[in-house]
Amino acid sequence: MTQTQASSAVRRRFALVFKSCRRLAAEHCPRLASVDVAFCSEVKGRLTGRARMRAFMHVEHEEGTVCVAPEAARLPEENLAALFLHEFGHLATDGGEAEADAWVFAKLGIVIRYEGSLDLERITELDLEKLT
């Protein structure tokens, strides 16, 4: 597989995970059906240290858009889906970290866990199957 083919496969997987998360979230909050995704160089913004290393997405500066750091596309699906779901939780509640995760659990029945050295969002493989 060439680098171009690999890159294309990563983009397809990324788009599929986003669309699956958006579809599931929109079943419980219909306005989320119009949310878009965009790669964005401002995700890491002025963050430093550990906060910068674990910043992959936000919904702060483009209304109706999940902004994504390009390196997020290479994350495992369990992390990628958890990050998207967490951001949809922010959009659904207009709340902070705890409110976003609570919405995902209350509406979707999915628990977002924080694991690894970066304390990065992750869902189980069983929860990942709910997206298909």
75 near 14, Cβ under 8 Å?
Answer: no
pLDDT tens digits along 25-61: 999 999 999 999 998 888 888 889 888 998 999 997 8
Number of domains in the chain: 1
pTM of the model: 0.92
CATH number at 52 reads: 3.30.2010
For residue 89, the enclosing domain spans 3-129
For residue 39, give the H/E element and its range: strand 36-39
Rounded CA separation 59/25 (Å): 15
pLDDT tens digits along 65-120: 999 998 898 899 999 999 999 999 999 999 999 999 999 999 999 999 999 999 99
Chain position carrying tokens 């951001």: 87
Among candidate residues 69, 104, 77, 100, the one with its CA nearest the CA of residue 16: 77
